Amino acid sequence: MERDESEGGIGRRQLLILLGAATAGAVALGLKLFQRSSGPWAEEVERGAALRPGESVEFSIGGDDALLRREPDGSFVAFDLTCTHKGCTVRWNAGREEFACPCHKGIYNRTGEVLEGPPKTPLQRLAVDTREGRVIVTKRIRIETN
């Protein structure tokens, strides 16, 4: 016996629609989380080609903050700005030529190697490719084991 919706309850049809919508939402969220945890990602850094030696620009790749820097010799280097200690976002200090984590005082040198603080591993370096005046940065899958 189907419940009469005029009694203030929810009918079978409404329940099925609600369950269908909830299922679709859960599937979409799961796909988004899977997409964020897999890769690789490639991102063209719009301002990259215009950087002069010593200049840098932050950008987003695969949902994470990253930094592209032009080196004195004209080459490019890029880093994922996620601290390897607890996942905070590190910041590049061009004057000191180091990355600093505001959360737990981790310091990395200009090449991403740990100088001090709790981090045990260097920053993830990203692949940089220049093609036809464009700068493309690629982030590969990083699998961490504890």
List the domain boundaries for the chain: 5-37, 41-139
In CATH, which of 3.40.630.30, 3.60.21.10, 3.40.50.300, 2.102.10.10 is domain 41-139?
Answer: 2.102.10.10
What is the pairing mode between strands 107-109 and 114-116? antiparallel
Q: Other CB atoms closer than 10 Å to residue 68's CB: what's the count?
A: 23
**39-59: per-residue pLDDT in tens?**
578 889 989 999 999 999 999
Identify the bridge partners of residue 70 per DSSP, sorted by sequence position: 76
**Would you say 120 and 84 are in contact if contact means Cβ atoms under 8 Å apart?**
yes
Residue 86's pLDDT band, with cuts at 50, 70 and 90, is: very high
- Model pLDDT, residue 39: 56
Per mean pLDDT, which range of 103-112, 118-127, 134-143 is the poorest?
134-143
